[in-house]
């Protein structure tokens, strides 16, 4: 076939790096720090199994029939109560349940973004969101990340100079850097969104996985003009195989998302929503989260300690207070994607997400995202030792005079 049959969005999706991350994480011969995989040993298998059994045997609803495209009302009520307790006043009507937060990202982009519309993203950002956004052909504006979140001075300069429809941000344990947006920056972001008439998409799948420090208010709780749509997910706190997330926002947003969901999949799987509601009604989610936080904190500490001890000169790593990832910074000129494909994965059996996939411009190559939740601590330590040894050959040479 001579002419290109695939749409541009299909070609761009293949270049997003999502499939590579899953392939690396599912390759049992690799030590993979690539995908954002939870620890499968922590899935509540017995409790979820009982919850699904109960959905079939004890629920008066026909769980295999079509239902409300906004999702099971009881689960939305339970979730609304938890979000309200977390500081964001929410009713069941403010929520739509989706097939993971990933679908919610896609539906919000479909709702708002026309080709060429301005879209602000953190730089770097979640590559799965870029994969969703690319299908709607936005004009990207990258805002650098500081240790305390998006650089607000750079954001204001972009908003002053360009027409922007939406800001996408991950304020809590940002993917990929692990950074937490400060309260002052959260307040400033809302002020700027109001001033420049911009919608904010707040993606918070890691919010309830804080290991240390003080929990900060959500952007939606600070919203004064119904500009914030907030997303969450059960993938990181229960299990990704459930494929269940949510979007919350004002009624106009939820109504529009529900309309688009009709054209996407009609509704999320009802049996899963009933089972998750049963789990939350009959089990202590807070105790489960406490277990996750304790174990994930120990894994993060092990990875950071191994990196700090073994990384060669010129390489640095941060130490986040929660979430799933640490951010590895390499010296200028080191292409972490190229050396992973040519050397580190084939020779050392280690994989990660190179930074090039985490910028719309794909221009920053000297960094990497490392996941610490998926592997056990001995495997983390072995993988970091291999990675650090391999990186020695890419470290800058320190002149002898500098060592004296």
- CB proximity list for 77: less than 8 A, separation 6 or greater: 92
**pLDDT-derived band at 9, boundaries 50, 70, 90:** confident
With a cut of 80, say whether residue 399 has pLDDT above it. no
Domain final position from 282, 305, 332: 282
Q: Say whether both 207 and 112 belong to one domain.
A: yes
**pLDDT-derived band at 8, boundaries 50, 70, 90:** confident
pLDDT (mean) for 335-346: 97
What's the number of CA atoms in the CB half-sphere (13 Å) around residue 19? 7
pLDDT (mean) for 200-224: 98
Query: Which pLDDT belongs to residue 26?
Result: 62
With a cut of 90, say whether residue 333 has pLDDT above it. yes
Report how many domains make up the chain: 2
Q: Say whether both 264 and 316 belong to one domain.
A: no
pLDDT (mean) for 333-354: 97
pLDDT tens, residue by residue, 20-54: 655 565 677 899 999 999 999 999 999 999 999 99
Least confident of 93-97, 205-209, 210-214, 400-404: 400-404
Q: Say whether both 259 and 162 belong to one domain.
A: yes
Where residue 375 sits, what CATH number does that domain have? 3.90.1150.10
Asked if the structure places residue 402 within a domain, the reply is no
pLDDT (mean) for 188-204: 98
Asked if the structure places residue 272 within a domain, the reply is yes
Asked if the structure places residue 167 within a domain, the reply is yes
With a cut of 70, say whether residue 137 has pLDDT above it. yes
Q: What percent of the chain has pLDDT over 90?
A: 89
H helices of 162-284, in order, are 183-196, 219-222, 251-264, 270-282
Mean per-residue pLDDT of the chain: 94
Q: Say whether both 124 and 235 belong to one domain.
A: yes
Q: Say whether both 124 and 263 belong to one domain.
A: yes
Query: Which pLDDT belongs to residue 173?
Result: 98
Between CA 197 and CA 362 the distance in angstroms is: 28
**pLDDT-derived band at 127, boundaries 50, 70, 90:** very high
Asked if the structure places residue 96 within a domain, the reply is yes
Q: Say whether both 34 and 155 belong to one domain.
A: no
Q: Say whether both 374 and 318 belong to one domain.
A: yes
With a cut of 60, say whether residue 402 has pLDDT above it. no
Where residue 206 sits, what CATH number does that domain have? 3.40.640.10
Between CA 371 and CA 24 the distance in angstroms is: 12
Q: Say whether both 307 and 387 belong to one domain.
A: yes
Query: Which pLDDT belongs to residue 17?
Result: 59
Asked if the structure places residue 58 within a domain, the reply is yes
Query: Which pLDDT belongs to residue 266?
Result: 93
Between CA 179 and CA 177 the distance in angstroms is: 5
Residue with tokens 């045997």: 57
Between CA 124 and CA 211 the distance in angstroms is: 23
Asked if the structure places residue 1 within a domain, the reply is no
Query: Which pLDDT belongs to residue 11?
Result: 74
Q: Say whether both 232 and 291 belong to one domain.
A: no
Q: Quick one: tokens of 312?
A: 């060669």
Q: Say whether both 320 and 260 belong to one domain.
A: no
**pLDDT-derived band at 2, boundaries 50, 70, 90:** low
pLDDT tens, residue by residue, 203-213: 999 999 999 99
Asked if the structure places residue 188 within a domain, the reply is yes
- CB proximity list for 188: less than 8 A, separation 6 or greater: 152
Q: Quick one: tokens of 271?
A: 């049996």
Asked if the structure places residue 328 within a domain, the reply is yes
Q: Say whether both 100 and 138 belong to one domain.
A: yes
Query: Which pLDDT belongs to residue 60?
Result: 77
pLDDT (mean) for 254-283: 97
Query: Which pLDDT belongs to residue 18?
Result: 56
**pLDDT-derived band at 16, boundaries 50, 70, 90:** low
Query: Which pLDDT belongs to residue 52?
Result: 96
Task: Give helix then strand counts, H and E, for the chain.
Answer: 15, 14
3-class SS string, the chain: CCCCCCCHHHHHHHCCCHHHHHHHHCCCCCEECCCCCCCHHHCCHHHHHHHHHHHHHCCCCCCCCCCCCCCCHHHHHHHHHHHHHCCCCCCHHHEEEECHHHHHHHHHHHHHCCCCCEEEEEECCCHHHHHHHHCCCCEEEEEEEECCEECHHHHHHHHHHCCCCEEEECCCCCCCCCCCCCHHHHHHHHHHHHHHCCEEEEECCCCCCECCCCCCCCHHHHCCCCCEEEEEECCCCCCHHHCCEEEECCHHHHHHHHHHHHHHCCCCCHHHHHHHHHHHHHCCHHHHHHHHHHHHHHHHHHHHHHHHHHCCCCCEECCCCECCEEEEECCCCCCHHHHHHHHHHHHHCEECEEHHHHCCCCCCCCEEEEECCCCCHHHHHHHHHHHHHHHHHHCCCCCHHHHC
The CA-atom distances, in angstroms, between 80 and each of 161, 199, 244, 249 are 38, 22, 15, 11
Query: Which pLDDT belongs to residue 227?
Result: 98
**pLDDT-derived band at 4, boundaries 50, 70, 90:** confident
pLDDT tens, residue by residue, 321-332: 999 999 999 999
By residue range, what is the domain housing residue 358?
Answer: 8-43+287-393
- Stated as kind and residue range, the H or E segment containing 141 is strand 139-146
pLDDT (mean) for 175-182: 98
Query: Which pLDDT belongs to residue 25?
Result: 55
Q: Say whether both 178 and 278 belong to one domain.
A: yes
């Amino acid at each position: 076939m001579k002419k290109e049959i695939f749409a541009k969005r299909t070609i761009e999706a293949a270049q997003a790096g999502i499939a590579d991350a899953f392939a690396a994480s599912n390759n049992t011969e690799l030590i993979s720090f690539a995908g954002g995989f939870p620890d499968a040993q922590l899935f509540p298998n017995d409790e979820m199994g009982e919850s699904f059994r109960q959905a079939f045997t004890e629920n008066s609803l026909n769980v295999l029939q079509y239902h409300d495209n906004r999702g099971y009302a009881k689960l939305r009520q339970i979730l609304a109560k938890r979000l309200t307790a977390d500081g964001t006043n929410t009713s069941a009507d403010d929520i739509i349940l989706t097939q993971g937060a990933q679908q919610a990202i896609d539906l919000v982009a479909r709702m708002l973004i026309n080709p060429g519309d301005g879209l602000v993203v953190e730089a770097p950002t979640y590559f799965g969101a870029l994969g969703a956004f690319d299908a709607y052909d936005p004009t990207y504006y990258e805002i650098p990340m500081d240790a305390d979140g998006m650089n607000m001075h750079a954001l204001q300069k972009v908003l002053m100079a360009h027409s922007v429809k939406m800001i996408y941000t991950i304020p809590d344990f940002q993917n990929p850097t692990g950074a937490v947006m400060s309260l002052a920056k959260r307040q400033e972001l809302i002020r700027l969104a109001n001033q420049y008439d911009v919608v904010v998409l707040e993606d918070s799948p890691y919010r309830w996985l804080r290991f240390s420090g003080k929990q900060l208010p959500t952007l939606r709780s600070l919203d004064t003009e119904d500009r914030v749509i907030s997303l969450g997910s059960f993938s990181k706190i229960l299990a990704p195989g459930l494929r269940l997330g949510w979007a919350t926002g004002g009624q106009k947003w939820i109504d529009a998302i529900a309309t688009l969901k009709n054209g996407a999949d009609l509704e999320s799987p009802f049996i899963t929503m009933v089972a998750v509601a049963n789990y939350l009604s009959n089990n202590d989610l807070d105790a489960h989260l406490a277990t996750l936080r304790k174990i994930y904190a120990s894994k993060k500490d092990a990875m950071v300690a191994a990196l700090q001890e073994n990384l060669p000169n010129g390489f640095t790593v941060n130490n986040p207070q929660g979430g799933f990832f640490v951010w590895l910074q390499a010296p200028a000129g080191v292409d972490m994607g190229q050396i992973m494909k040519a050397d580190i994965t084939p020779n050392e059996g280690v994989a990660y997400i190179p930074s090039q996939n985490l910028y719309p411009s794909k221009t920053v190559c000297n960094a990497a995202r490392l996941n610490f939740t998926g592997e056990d601590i001995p495997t983390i330590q072995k993988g970091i030792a291999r990675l650090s040894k391999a990186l020695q050959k890419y470290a800058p040479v320190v002149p002898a005079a500098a060592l004296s």
